[in-house]
Amino acid sequence: MLWRLLPPLVCHTLGLRGYGALALPWLGVVAATAYVALIHNRRCPHPWFVLGGTLLFATTSAVLVPVGWLGMNDAWCWLGLLVFAFGESPFARVTAVFLCPWVDERFIIGLPLALLVRWAERGPSFQFRESIAAFAWLPYAALRLALSFAADSGGRAQSFVHEGLKTAVVLVPWAPLAWWMGLRAAWAPAAYAMARRPPWLGLVAAATLIVCLLFASDMSRSAATLTPLTTLGGILFLRRHPEMAPRALLTAGIANLLIPAAHLTYIKFVPINNLLIELLRLRHTP
């Protein structure tokens, strides 16, 4: 939390105090969800395709975490990865890479996968200069490395790494369940993307989850780092099966409303019921 400076600085600048600061994570959810809709609409304006892709994103841990845990700014991080993977503006992509590490370190962990997703979607039209934006996070890295290993904080940094590695050993048996709960039906387009592209895409996706496991115990939350990959899967399926894609993506989105989810933090399992049960609970809550 020491390095996630951007959200509190924004709240301080805007004069948000107390509960007012909790609006920032929700604004991130709205922005990220709207951007997912924009990505799908640019590829295919069919309303089912746009709704299905947006619904699929909104029912993963990318949204379930920030709307369920107050103060979590994850959605800004996933928005940055999506902008880098699918954005058309070089300025927007550089800005995302420059700012998002100060929101959450998971952005840096997910950045290589986002770059490969951009490469996989664009195919022969991908140009190497598009990857230059990925280096905009180097000022963050230089400053963090310089300060983390200073005399007064180096011990904390080393202790964090040591404790993270010890915790990861305990978490390994829980990881597959946690990763499933994070995405659920969204694993279908992710698997399709990995099957349609060279093996390195799947290898980098696996490495992304493993690195998150080593340094974060909220495993279902970290599964959202694969958000660009799940979005890519829907786009690739559209290209190969344009008639089927809108219905298939909408079906997957509805399925994620009906499939129970859960937050897995360390070995704590917090269930999230499907939409129908949650509506019944809300209706009978005093």
Give the whole-angstrom CA distance, residue 180 versus residue 82. 21
Tokens representing residue 163 in the block: 């404790």
In this predicted structure, the answer to whether residue 160 has a pLDDT above a threshold of 80 is no
Determine the average pLDDT of the residues in 255-269: 89
pLDDT in tens, 202-257: 999 999 999 998 888 888 999 999 999 999 999 999 999 999 999 999 999 999 99
Whether 119 shows a pLDDT value over 60: the answer reads yes
Q: How confident is the model at residue 268, as a pLDDT?
A: 84
User: Where are the domains positioned within the chain?
Assistant: 6-283
Q: What is the pLDDT of residue 272?
A: 85
The token duo for 247 is 């219905």
| pTM for the full predicted model | 0.90
d(CA 53, CA 237): 12
Could you count the other beta carbons within 10 Å of the beta carbon of residue 58? 19
- What pLDDT, in 10s, does the model give residues 172-199? 888 999 999 999 999 999 999 999 888 8
- Quick one: pLDDT at residue 197? 80
pLDDT bracket for residue 25 (50, 70, 90): very high
Percentage of residues of the chain with pLDDT beyond 70: 93
Can you give the pLDDT at residue 196? 87
Cα–Cα distances in Å, from 30 out to 34, 74, 88, 147, 192?
6, 12, 20, 34, 27
Going by C-beta distance under 8 Å and a sequence separation of 6 or more, which residues neighbour residue 202?
Answer: 194
- Is 31 a residue whose pLDDT tops 70? yes
pLDDT at 170: 78
43-52, 118-127, 165-174: which has the highest mean pLDDT? 43-52
Q: What is the mean pLDDT of the chain?
A: 90
Q: What are 142's two structure tokens? A: 């230089």
DSSP 3-state assignment of 1? coil
State the pLDDT confidence band at 125, using cuts at 50, 70 and 90.
Answer: confident
Q: How far is CA 230 from CA 17, 66, 199, 207, 276, in A?
A: 36, 19, 16, 16, 25
- In this prediction, residue 255 carries a pLDDT of 95
Asked if the model's pLDDT at residue 121 lies above 80, the reply is yes
Flag the least confident range among 6-10, 144-148, 267-271.
144-148
pLDDT at 149: 67
What pLDDT, on a 0 to 100 scale, did the predictor assign at position 280?
84
**Average confidence (pLDDT) over 163-170:** 72
Q: How far apart are CA 31 and CA 251, in angstroms?
A: 24
pLDDT band at 171 (very low <50, low <70, confident <90, very high): confident
Torsion of CA 73, 77, 82, 88, to 10 degrees: 100
First to last CA, the chain: 35
Point out which residues pair with 272 in neighbouring strands.
Answer: 261
Neighbours of 83 (CB within 10 A): 24
